[in-house]
Amino acid sequence: MHETTGAKVFRIVTITLLSIFTIIPIYVMVISGMKPLQDVQNEFSWWPSTLTLQPYVDMWQTVPLASYFMNSVIVSTVATVLSLIIAIFASYAISRYKFRGRSVFSGTVLSTQMLPGVLFLLPLFLIFVNINTNFGIQLVGTRTGLIITYLTFSLPFSIWMLAGYFDGIPRELDEAAKVDGCGPMRALIRVILPAARPGLVAVAIYSFMTSWGEVLFASVMTTDANRTLAVGLQLYSTQTNVYWNQIMAASVVVSIPIVIGFLLLQKNFVAGLTAGAVK
Amino acid sequence: MSAVSASTAVKKSGAAAGAPGGKARKARRKGWWLPYALLAPAVIFELVIHVIPMVTGIWMSFLKLTKMFIANWGNAPFIGLKNYAVALDFNSAVGMGLLKSFGITVAFTIIVVGLSWGFGMAAAIALQKAFRGRAVFRTLFLIPYALPMYAGVIAWKFMLQKDSGALNHLLFDNLGLPGDKPFWLIGDNAFAAVVVVAIWRLWPFAFLMLMAGLQSIPTDVYEASAVDGAKPLRQWWAITLPMLRPINMVLVLVMFLWTFNDFNTPFVLFGGSQPPAGDLISFHIYNASFLTWNFGSGAAMSVLLLLFLLVVSGIYLLFMNRRKDNA
């Protein structure tokens, strides 16, 4: 089909403007991570006077970045795996069985998705404090406590999206498995889960990304012992200096694994997200 | 726990499989508890992370839950609707603050969702037809969404510094704008700053969803209408938009809820205390609770926010479903 001039102009202008808008902060992040400290404290320059990788070395000393990194990896991974496992069973039940209470359950799950995190933050914080007072179990400042709070957003999303995804898998597959002598659980593991792999990948990526980037719970529920990157990255300011070059270098480092992972798996993500969303 | 019940289920229905219809039906009736067993872990966790906190939160909103009672909030005095009365009394400092923050959040949400949708739509259309380099731009546009949110926002925070920031350098040193370099993160400019950063983060998501939606529209519809002499704009209005309806319905609702509840963007951008112009509601409630340690008041504000979101989402869904029925 022939493209009109108007359409071509529209395409070029749109792509140019949005590319500039998208790139500039990323460029500033990358380039500033390779500047000496005086360079980022004075007037901005688009190109550094000296290119250096020193910020990438210093950033591990200025704050305990490695330990924050470790906390983020553990908390995000456990929260992702846990919500995925729980969601697989729940979504299978919702998608394949009619039972009393089904709509109440899925309605509750769906509605918790739209609630502000701050609504759960205050009560969870108080409940955690209370558990500590009454039972001596410390949750604020531990990874376990953080993982529980992260489930507040990753679990409902996982259930919602997987149920939509399972619905899209033809029931004939289940029937065929049944004919072959599989019970429901074996059908789930042998037939449904392999068929739902793009959906599972999408849910896992999404849970991991949101946990990795979570700030609200992390800012309240963490102390020195379990601090995540989201909070740790804000600690590069001292009374005398803000180490912008090290902050930018650290930002690059915490971004690289997740951006690469996302870009590699983005096809699955798009397919899974739209399948789950348009149900 | 569910693993145990699940393995017995396998044995039972495994034995029943292949049997005549009557027996199979009996086995199915026998397995009535299976969905509940599958659901059990999710129900337990939902209780712990959502139901109990929500009930606690509503209960908290009726208490005089100040600093003195935090460690043992069972002893906090019950004060009925007083927290709500204060939050809704627009002559009081608390009520006035909440109302202002609400107004700012509404404006913020409308601008951010509207522009993000527009940018996402424009980019999805611009990348709809194959051309050399399309994959590069598609990947590029997704990066702000893939970045951990705080990393992207901190980069903006650095760019928006008054003296060492890239934005003022671009505007005043490169482009030669007259006047003094302004502050972006304090004062009235803070609203524009948080809007731009929020759009930067959100529009790739709209792009992602709309791109997937556009791919699901068969091309022969466009070809047929082109034969009839339809111009691109007319095609967009008459074909693209109606075909994207199901996706748009979900997309707009999700973007509305995310943006309205956005805590992360202002928190990372402004640090601990927000400028009045960027006082978004989640951040406002957070500060009202943790700076003054008045959790009862914060809980009441949370419940009011919850009611507002439920009503708006409910009206939206009703309205959209009615339009679908009429169509």
Residues A134-162 have pLDDT tens digits of 898 899 989 999 999 999 999 998 998 89
Q: Is residue A255 part of a domain?
A: no
Q: Is residue A123 part of a domain?
A: yes
Q: Is A110 on the interface with B (CB under 8 A)?
A: no
Q: Is residue A213 part of a domain?
A: yes
Q: CA-CA distance, A82 to A78, in Å (whole number)?
A: 6
- CA triplet A248, B152, B195: central angle to 5 degrees? 135
CA proximity to A4, closest of B131, B130, B226: B226
Contact criterion met (CB < 8 Å) for B10 and A105: no
**A 242-261: CB under 8 A from B:** 244, 247-248, 251-252, 254-255, 258-259
Beta carbons within 10 angstroms of residue A130's beta carbon: 17
Mean local confidence (pLDDT), B54-59 = 90
Q: Is residue A52 part of a domain?
A: no
Q: Is residue A147 part of a domain?
A: yes
DSSP bridge partners of B63: B78
CATH number for the domain spanning A112: value is 1.10.3720.10
Confidence of residue A275 (pLDDT cuts 50, 70, 90): low
Confidence of residue B293 (pLDDT cuts 50, 70, 90): confident
How many Cα atoms are found within 13 Å in the side-chain-facing hemisphere of B150? 28
Q: Is the pLDDT of residue B10 over 50?
A: no
CA-based torsion, A137, A142, A147, A153: positive or negative: positive
Q: CA-CA distance, A150 to A75, in Å (whole number)?
A: 8
Q: Is B54 on the interface with A (CB under 8 A)?
A: yes
Q: Is residue A228 part of a domain?
A: yes
Q: Is residue A269 part of a domain?
A: no
Q: What is the pLDDT of residue A91?
A: 94
Closest CA–CA distance from residue B189 to any residue of chain A (Å):
19
pLDDT in tens, A32-66: 999 999 889 888 999 988 899 999 999 999 999 99
* Count of the separate structural domains present in chain A: 1
Q: Is residue A263 part of a domain?
A: no
- Per the CB < 8 A criterion, the answer to whether B196 and A72 are in contact is no
Percent of chain B with pLDDT over 90: 49
Chain A nearest-CA residue for B171 = A44
Domain that holds residue A154: 64-235
Interface with A, mutate which of B43, B50, B55, B240 (most A CBs under 10 A) = B50
Contact criterion met (CB < 8 Å) for A122 and B60: yes
